[in-house]
Amino acid sequence: MATELSTTPRDEESLEPVLDAIETNAGKRPGCVVADKGYLTERGVAKTRGQWDLVCAAFNLRRLFRLQAAPT
């Protein structure tokens, strides 16, 4: 494995060297990578809040349909 920490505001260029190190250490690149930019924005919070609202609405609707379909 490999880890890298950067304090620069835009560190996208740090990802490729980390993937190269993982490939060197593990013999192949990972199929999935989780990375973040390390900062919080109002736009990001609003987008996440909107997505969470959709998840909650879907969960509650599914629950309501299951309750209606349950034998009484």
Residue by residue, DSSP assigns 14-68 as GHHHHHHHHHHHHSS--S------S---HHHHHHHHHHHHHHHHHHHHHHHHHHH
> What does the alpha-carbon distance between residue 32 and residue 39 come to, in Å, rounded to a whole number?
21
In the chain, the percentage of residues whose pLDDT exceeds 90 is 11
Give the mean pLDDT of the chain. 79
Please give the pLDDT value at position 3: 59
The string of pLDDT tens digits covering residues 14-34 is 788 888 888 888 888 888 777
The string of pLDDT tens digits covering residues 44-55 is 778 888 888 889
In the chain, the percentage of residues whose pLDDT exceeds 70 is 72
Question: Do 34 and 53 lie in a common domain?
Answer: no
pLDDT at 36 over 60: yes
Work out how many domains the chain is built from and give that number.
Answer: 2
Question: Do 2 and 31 lie in a common domain?
Answer: yes
Question: Do 46 and 61 lie in a common domain?
Answer: yes
